């Protein structure tokens, strides 16, 4: 993991020769940059983990039901707990997918 745009990606000072070579993209691809990019992988996972923590019972316990497991590129299911429901749509395609419930 490249932590920052500092020399040696923040693991050691610039006067140290790291045992593993540093990827040349470390100045733009690193954890520090992702923290400030709202569309980064870091922020995507952070928001999903906050959602799971806020609604832990529904995401961890009780019922799971497939809604659409046959569509190509999309996986749809719902979670239910204590009269609450969450519909989860996962797009596995490399493009925007329009999903139509029931068809």
**H or E element that contains 65:** strand 63-68
Residue 60 dihedral angles phi and psi, to the nearest 5°: -105, -40
pLDDT of 9 above 80: no
Average pLDDT in the 77-99 region? Answer: 90
13-64 per-position pLDDT tens digit: 778 887 878 888 888 888 899 999 999 989 999 999 999 898 888 888 878 8
60-84 per-position pLDDT tens digit: 887 889 998 787 788 999 999 888 8
| Spans of all domains in the chain | 1-54, 56-103
End-to-end CA distance of the chain: 42
- pLDDT at res. 103: 59
Distance CA 31, CA 40 (A): 10
């Amino acid at each position: 993991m490249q932590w920052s745009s500092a020399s040696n990606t923040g693991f050691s000072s610039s006067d140290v020769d790291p045992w593993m070579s540093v990827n040349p993209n470390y100045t733009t691809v690193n954890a520090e940059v992702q923290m400030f990019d709202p569309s980064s992988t870091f922020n995507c996972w952070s928001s999903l983990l906050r959602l799971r923590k806020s609604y832990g019972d529904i995401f961890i316990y009780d019922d799971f039901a497939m809604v659409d497991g046959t569509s190509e590129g999309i996986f749809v299911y719902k979670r239910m707990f204590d009269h609450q429901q969450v519909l989860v749509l996962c797009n596995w395609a490399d493009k925007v997918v329009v999903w139509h419930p029931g068809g």
